[in-house]
């Protein structure tokens, strides 16, 4: 089993920044993908950004050039730096750890962008 602990959500004004963190523990693997998805009310869960153990990244189209994902292999932690936040970024953000076809999910952290 893999456990994921998320932190860093909250309320921010449009144009502001937040940083999310997700720490993984348990039975971890050398080859994995880890990152963030989000789900707004009434919407499907969508990709935000993921990173592989080798450092390859992938971003959702709506966050490219605004969000940056990074990883610390020693700490088994990924970070999501979110800049130039927009009201449409409001959602519950879920940490994801994937090994092959197996997905593990965090409990989610709320990000609200509002003035």
CB proximity list for 3: less than 8 A, separation 6 or greater: 24, 25, 26, 104
Closest C-alpha to 89, from 52, 53, 37: 37
Q: For the ranges 12-16, 19-23, 29-33, 47-51, which has the lowest average pLDDT?
A: 29-33
Tokens of 59: 């971003």
Query: 30 pLDDT band (50/70/90 cuts)?
Result: confident
Which has more pLDDT, 11 or 27?
11
Q: What pLDDT was estimated at residue 96?
A: 97
Burial class, 115, CB count within 10 angstroms (exposed 0-12 / middle 13-18 / buried 19+)? exposed
Encode pLDDT of 60-113 as tens digits: 999 999 999 999 888 889 999 999 999 999 999 999 999 999 999 999 999 999
Angle at alpha carbon of residue 14, lines to 88 and 35, rounded to 5°: 55
Q: What pLDDT was estimated at residue 7?
A: 94
**Average pLDDT of the residues of the chain:** 95
């Amino acid at each position: 089993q893999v456990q994921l602990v998320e932190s860093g959500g909250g309320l921010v004004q449009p144009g502001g920044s937040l940083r999310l963190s997700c720490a993984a523990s348990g039975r971890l693997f050398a080859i994995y993908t880890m990152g963030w998805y989000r789900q707004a009310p009434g919407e499907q869960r969508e990709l935000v950004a993921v990173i592989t153990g080798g450092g390859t990244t992938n971003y959702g189209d709506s966050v490219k050039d605004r969000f940056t994902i990074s990883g610390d292999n020693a700490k088994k932690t990924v970070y999501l730096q979110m800049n130039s936040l927009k009201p449409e970024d409001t959602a519950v953000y879920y940490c994801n750890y994937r090994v092959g076809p197996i997905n593990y999910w965090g409990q989610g952290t709320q990000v609200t962008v509002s003035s």
